C-alpha cells in the first residue's frame, strides 16, 4: 500500500471517529440540559404542593380550635336549666338566646384576633420539622425525585435558618438550594422561605441517563477498538508483506549460490578442454554433494516452517542422551567456526541428561542456535555450550560474543521471518525461520526458551527441557 494513501486513510478514520464522538457528546450534553430543566420543574412543583399543604394544615388546625372553643362556650353560657329557670314561656327563652348570641359574637371576635396573632409567631412554632420532612419526601417521590435532600427554613427578618433537617449544608441551602415562600396568604408579615438542596443532584441526573450513557460509551469503545484493531492489522500486514519480500529475496540469494556452484562444477566436468584427473573428479563431486546438501537443508527448513504453520509437525519421541545430540551438533558446525578463527567451548555438566525427545528436531534446534551464534559474531567467535540440571529438567545454554540484540528486537526474534538488523554488516545469510522453529520445537517438547543479550556484548539462549514430558 502506498505510504501516502495509508496516512490519508488513518487521518480520515481518526477525523471521522473524533467527529462521531463530538456529535455524541453534543447530544448527551443536550439531553443532560433537558433532564436538568425537568428536574428543576419537578422540584418547584413539589415545593409548591408542600407549601399549600402546610397552609392547609394550619387552616384546618385553626378551624378545629375554633369549633372546640365554640362548643365549650355554648355549654358554658347557654341558660336553659339554671340561671333562667325562673322565666317561663317564650319570652324567657328568647331573652336567653339573645344574650347567648351577643356573647358568642363578642367571644368569636376575641378568638379570631387571637388566631390572627398566631400568624406573627416564629416560623419554628408554626412548622413541625418532622411533618415537613414527611411532606417533602412524599411530594418529591410523586414527582420522580428519589435522591438525598436537605431542607431548611430561612427567615430574612432574622437572617437565620431556625429550621433545618440535619444542619450540614447551611451555605449550600442559601447559595444553591431551591426556595419557595411559606404561607403566601400572610399579606402583612415578611415571608419565610422553604429551602431545599440536593447534595447528589449531579449523580441523580447521570443515573437518569445511565442507559443512554452506557450505550454511547459501549458504542464509542467498540468503534475505538475496531479502529485500533484495523490499524494494527494494516500495520501487521504491511510489515508482513515487507518481511515476505525480504524472505523471497534472501531465499533467492541463498538458493542462487549453491545452484550456481553446482552449475559451474557440472560445466567443468563436461568441458572437454579441461584436463581431468581422479582428484579433480573427487573435488568437483564433493562440491556438488555439499551444495546439494545445502540446498536440501534450506528446503527442509522451509518445509518445516510450513508444517509448523499447519500444525502438521509430528514429533517422534525416543529415549535419547542430550549430551550426544549437543556433541554431534558441535562437531557439524565446528569447522565453520574455526574458519573464522573462533572456537567452541563445551561444559556438559548435567548429571541427568537422558529424556524422551525427537532426536532429529532436537539436533536441528542445537544447529540453529550454534549457527546463529557463529553468523552474528563477525570475528573470532567464542561460543560456550553448557548444560545443567534444574529441579525437573535440563538447561542448555548457548552463549556467544557477537553483536548482541537490543531490548526492542529481543521481543521479536522468535517471530517468523523476522531478522535482526546487522547495521553495516550485510553478509549474514538466513531466512528468519531459525529461532521461530527453535521456539516451536522446544514448546512442543513441553519446555521454553529464554534470551539474555546486550548490544555489543553477545547473546545467551537458554533452553529448558523437562526430563519427564
Residues 40 and 130 in one domain: yes
> What pLDDT, on the 0 to 100 scale, is given for residue 266?
82
Q: Give the model confidence (pLDDT) of 409-445 as tens digits.
A: 777 777 766 666 554 444 555 545 677 778 888 888 8
Strands (E), 158-280: 160-164, 178-181, 193-197
pTM score, whole prediction: 0.47
Residues 333 and 256 in one domain: no
Q: Contact, 337 vs 383, CB < 8 A?
A: yes
Per-residue burial over 420-456, b if 16 or more Cβ lie within 10 Å, else e, is beeeeeeeeebbbbbbbbbbbbbebbebebeeebeee
> What pLDDT, on the 0 to 100 scale, is given for residue 109?
55
Strands 150-155 and 354-357: unpaired
Select from 279, 308, 337 the last residue of a domain: 308
Q: Contact, 374 vs 335, CB < 8 A?
A: no
Q: Contact, 332 vs 364, CB < 8 A?
A: no
Query: Using the 8-state DSSP alphabet, how is residue 26 labeled?
Result: H
Residue 96, CA distances (Å) to 67, 101, 104 in order: 21, 9, 12
State the Cα–Cα distance between residues 185 and 56, nearest whole angstrom: 11
Contacts of 129 (CB under 8 A, 6+ apart): 163, 164, 165
State the Cα–Cα distance between residues 357 and 322, nearest whole angstrom: 9
Phi, psi angles (nearest 5°) of residue 298? -65, -40
Number of domains in the chain: 3
Work out the number of other CB atoms within 10 angstroms of the CB of residue 311.
9
Strand, coil or helix: 164: strand
Residues 180 and 50 in one domain: yes
CATH of the domain at 248: 1.10.287
Residues 341 and 431 in one domain: yes
Query: Using the 8-state DSSP alphabet, how is residue 446 labeled?
Result: T
State the Cα–Cα distance between residues 347 and 327, nearest whole angstrom: 11
Select from 308, 325, 348 the last residue of a domain: 308
Residues 225 and 275 in one domain: yes
Residues 218 and 195 in one domain: no
Residues 23 and 54 in one domain: yes
State the Cα–Cα distance between residues 105 and 270, nearest whole angstrom: 151
Helix/strand/coil (H/E/C) assignment for every residue in 364-387: HHHHHHHHHHHHCCCCCCEEEEEE
Q: Contact, 358 vs 317, CB < 8 A?
A: yes
Strands 343-348 and 382-389: parallel
Cell of 222: 467498540
Phi, psi angles (nearest 5°) of residue 188? -95, -50
Residues 439 and 351 in one domain: yes
DSSP result, 130-158: HHHHHHHHHHHHHTT--S--EEEEEETTT
State the Cα–Cα distance between residues 256 and 250, nearest whole angstrom: 10
Cα 444–Cα 446–Cα 448 angle in degrees, nearest 5:
95
Strand, coil or helix: 153: strand
Cell of 351: 548429571
Show the low-confidence residues of the chain (pLDDT under 50).
80-87, 113, 117, 423-426, 431
Work out the number of other CB atoms within 10 angstroms of the CB of residue 131.
12
> What pLDDT, on the 0 to 100 scale, is given for residue 273?
67
Select from 308, 337, 355 the last residue of a domain: 308
* Cross-strand bridge partners of residue 139: none
Work out the number of other CB atoms within 10 angstroms of the CB of residue 259.
13
> What pLDDT, on the 0 to 100 scale, is given for residue 18?
86
Residues 297 and 323 in one domain: no
DSSP result, 414-430: TSTT-----TT------
> What pLDDT, on the 0 to 100 scale, is given for residue 196?
92
DSSP result, 260-272: HHHHHHHHHHH-T
State the Cα–Cα distance between residues 120 and 155, nearest whole angstrom: 13
State the Cα–Cα distance between residues 26 and 23, nearest whole angstrom: 5
Residues 55 and 185 in one domain: yes
> What pLDDT, on the 0 to 100 scale, is given for residue 157?
83
255 lies in which domain range?
210-308
Query: Using the 8-state DSSP alphabet, how is residue 391 labeled?
Result: S
Residues 7 and 156 in one domain: yes
Residues 139 and 214 in one domain: no
State the Cα–Cα distance between residues 98 and 92, nearest whole angstrom: 10
> What pLDDT, on the 0 to 100 scale, is given for residue 123?
79
Amino acid at each position: 500500500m502506498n505510504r501516502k494513501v495509508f496516512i490519508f486513510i488513518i487521518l480520515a478514520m481518526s477525523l471521522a471517529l473524533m467527529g462521531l464522538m463530538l456529535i455524541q457528546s453534543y447530544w448527551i450534553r443536550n439531553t443532560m440540559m433537558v433532564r436538568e430543566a425537568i428536574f428543576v420543574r419537578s422540584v418547584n412543583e413539589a415545593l409548591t404542593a408542600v407549601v399549600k399543604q402546610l397552609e392547609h394544615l394550619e387552616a384546618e388546625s385553626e378551624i378545629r380550635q375554633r369549633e372546640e372553643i365554640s362548643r365549650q362556650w355554648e355549654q358554658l353560657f347557654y341558660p336553659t336549666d339554671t340561671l333562667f329557670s325562673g322565666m317561663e314561656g317564650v319570652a324567657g327563652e328568647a331573652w336567653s338566646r339573645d344574650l347567648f348570641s351577643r356573647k358568642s359574637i363578642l367571644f368569636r371576635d376575641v378568638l379570631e384576633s387571637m388566631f390572627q396573632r398566631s400568624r406573627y409567631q416564629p416560623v419554628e412554632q408554626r412548622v413541625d420539622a418532622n411533618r415537613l420532612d414527611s411532606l417533602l419526601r412524599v411530594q418529591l417521590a410523586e414527582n420522580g425525585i428519589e435522591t438525598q435532600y436537605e431542607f431548611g427554613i430561612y427567615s430574612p427578618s432574622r437572617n437565620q435558618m431556625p429550621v433545618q433537617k440535619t444542619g450540614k449544608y447551611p451555605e449550600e441551602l442559601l447559595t444553591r438550594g431551591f426556595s419557595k415562600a411559606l404561607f403566601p396568604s400572610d399579606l402583612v408579615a415578611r415571608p419565610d422561605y422553604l429551602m431545599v438542596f440536593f447534595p447528589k443532584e449531579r449523580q441523580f441526573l447521570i443515573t437518569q441517563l445511565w442507559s443512554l450513557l452506557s450505550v454511547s460509551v459501549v458504542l464509542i469503545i467498540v468503534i475505538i477498538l475496531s479502529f485500533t484493531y484495523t490499524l494494527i492489522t494494516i500495520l501487521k500486514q504491511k510489515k508482513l508483506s515487507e518481511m515476505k519480500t525480504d524472505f523471497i529475496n534472501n531465499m533467492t540469494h541463498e538458493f542462487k549460490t549453491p545452484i550456481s556452484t553446482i552449475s559451474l562444477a557440472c560445466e567443468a566436468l563436461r568441458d572437454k578442454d579441461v584436463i581431468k584427473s581422479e582428484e579433480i573428479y573427487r573435488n568437483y563431486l564433493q562440491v556438488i554433494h555439499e551444495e546439494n546438501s545445502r540446498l536440501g537443508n534450506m528446503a527442509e527448513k522451509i518445509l518445516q516452517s510450513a508444517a509448523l504453520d499447519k500444525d502438521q509437525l509430528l514429533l517422534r519421541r525416543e529415549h535419547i542422551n542430550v549430551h550426544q545430540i549437543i556433541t554431534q551438533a558441535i562437531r557439524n558446525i565446528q569447522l565453520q567456526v574455526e574458519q573464522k578463527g573462533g572456537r567452541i567451548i563445551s561444559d556438559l555438566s548435567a548429571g541427568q541428561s537422558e529424556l524422551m525427545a525427537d532426536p532429529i528436531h532436537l539436533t536441528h534446534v542445537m544447529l540453529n542456535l550454534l549457527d546463529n551464534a557463529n553468523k552474528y559474531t563477525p570475528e573470532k567467535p567464542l561460543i560456550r555450550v553448557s548444560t545443567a540440571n534444574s529441579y525437573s529438567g535440563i538447561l542448555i545454554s548457548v552463549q556467544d560474543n557477537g553483536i548482541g540484540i537490543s531490548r526492542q528486537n529481543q521481543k521479536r526474534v522468535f517471530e517468523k521471518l523476522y531478522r535482526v538488523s546487522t547495521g553495516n554488516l550485510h553478509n549474514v545469510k538466513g531466512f528468519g525461520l531459525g529461532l521461530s522453529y527453535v521456539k516451536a520445537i522446544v514448546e512442543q517438547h513441553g519446555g521454553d526458551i529464554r534470551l539474555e543479550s546486550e548490544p555489543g556484548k553477545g547473546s545467551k539462549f537458554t533452553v529448558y527441557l523437562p526430563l519427564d514430558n
